[in-house]
A and B are shown apart, each in its own frame.
Chain A
């Protein structure tokens, strides 16, 4: 008999970055890297599991901005260009290392990986969303939605209409892409404030995730701590993160990814190799970037690095998967005895941990899923929806305001480098509501302007910008994005006030900020 449930969640998000005005744009690389290093490896693993009839459950949040980019023709074309360049580089690397057995084997490995990435990409008609849809339709993964542009809700509490718009736009976009309504949502950054669940309920959402203290500090106290979901007064369920299982994977000190046999992220040929040789494969401006071809393992804490050995790394990944499973079993057994009820252990991670930061991550996940399926019967993989179907009676509490960000609340997005944005977002949000009310039945050019205004506002609200400003690195892009979208919004607002919209200008920004083609400005009230 199973003693507990395990819910694995992979949160996959990238902010909307699309620059048709530039041939090459550095920040678009985030998408291409994620496709090559995270999404394709995960897709390959799920494909094989499906083909071999291995039962498993994984929850994935695919954010609307990510889905939009994966389905965008221009970015798809640019990805092909990107992966073809990598294939070219890998060929050269195979040639360059032909007398160095250790490195040559690795160069071959990367060449195969890049061909595989291109193959998978083409197989799904260049739209990887179709792959994840296939796995959901087969009942193996549950895809949940997220805020339309990953706006951080706790700092939008003063402008509830914007929270509503973030949710409604996301749900409509999800429905269009997956032919069903989303049952769950990943709150951006797990950012919850008491009351936002009512907005979720309006859109038919049944559950969300919070960080551990969101439930542990709920009022009244949760009887099962984080090991059962709770219902908000609205009836929407909240599943809280289990930090024990998170630590094993995330922690830079205790976690698996730091093992010395795993691949070293910071030794990339983009930085290591001769400038003239690598020049065609880094940024056209000559700035060195990560290519994804890395030849060394972590080895130790110092700077000395040994060549990567994929077989040793694979064995280690299998060992770590076994260890993770063993720990979850022990945890489940202990809690089952304590609680008199089967606990649910919720383990959410940023998807890009798997493959991008932790190269062996996807392999580890594959081992874990298979071990759980074949080697034991203590824990069972479930989705939150399945858990609620089997366990419909849960305690009613008000979860605490919380996030899974630095220090557990909102400081990451509200500090010196980024606090200036909020007055502008506040005014813009109020203006958007004013516009939605002032034009209940807009048509033609005015309707286009109103819809574009909402797009600009949503894009300005991406928490990614404030986050990047907060980290202090590479901030000018984030500052410019915030300003650009707010300035465009304000211009539309001013133009609507005097009923003088410049269609040429509007068409231009409709073309570049082309997210959510079917957006309906009415949702912002």
Chain B
């Protein structure tokens, strides 16, 4: 789109105070995951004051000493029951965080997350569970279909041609690694000033 590089001089802005704003909280419990790319997912959440209050009452002293944590589970190809993830990792949050970018480390997996409390004795209490997301692969699938088979080297050649790298054999035979590092994307006008 052109908007990215239309040359507009600075516009007079409406003063911040004149502008009504969106609510900071909607008064609901929610934890949502969305996918940014093969490696990164993004999470945003909100907790009702009531929910936190309930936990504070139930856990008493333990609550103050507990750490707020986002526990991210790799649940690829399984029906997740809360304890059968392939593995998980914890992200320590401060009390004011309401969203986080998560580096999952491996493309092409399924993820879900719990917002919870990690108690001093190691117990983890789930407050909310998110939806499940699936990250895309960062290269061609290793799954080949018998009925539509293609030899690897020919596929690599076609990949290269398809992404504008030409048809001569590539060093290392992995044109997708070159392709994703620099591409032609929308919104890039012909020449930026």
Contact = CB atoms under 8 A, between A and B. Distances in A.
Interface residues of B, number: 74
A219 B137 contact: yes
Interface stretch (A107-115, A318-326, A394-402): A394-402
Given A227-B162, A400-B137, A407 B185 contact: yes
Interface in A116-169: 154-155, 157-158
A104 interface: no
B42 A419 contact: yes
Interface stretch (B75-83, B85-93, B117-125, B175-183): B175-183
A507 B13 CA distance: 27
B63 interface: no
Contacts of A401: 35, 134-136
A352 B6 CA distance: 12
A408 B180 contact: yes
B48 to A, nearest CB: 13
B145 interface: yes
A255 B190 contact: yes
A464 B42 contact: no
Interface string A24-58: 00100010000000000000000000000000000
B191 to A, nearest CB: 5
Interface string A281-297: 00001011110000000
B28 interface: yes
Interface in A260-306: 265-266, 285, 287-290
Contacts of A193: 35
A158 B131 contact: yes
Interface string A467-505: 110010110110010010011001000000000000000
A404 B185 contact: yes
Contact of B32 (A287, A335, A426): A426
B12 interface: yes
Contacts of A226: 158, 162
A240 B11 CA distance: 39
Nearest to A11: B186
B162 A257 contact: no
Nearest to B141: A219
Contacts of A285: 12
A189 B186 CA distance: 7
Interface of B: 1-9, 11-14, 19-23, 26, 28, 30, 32-38, 40, 42, 44, 46, 98-99, 131, 133-141, 143-145, 148-150, 154-155, 157-159, 161-164, 167, 176, 179-180, 183-193
10 contacts: A157-B133, A221-B145, A221-B155, A265-B191, A352-B2, A407-B180, A419-B99, A471-B4, A474-B8, A476-B14
Given A225-B158, A244-B162, A358-B190, 19 more contacts: A155-B34, A157-B35, A220-B144, A226-B162, A242-B162, A244-B164, A265-B191, A287-B9, A395-B148, A397-B145, A400-B136, A406-B185, A406-B188, A409-B35, A426-B44, A427-B30, A467-B1, A473-B6, A476-B14
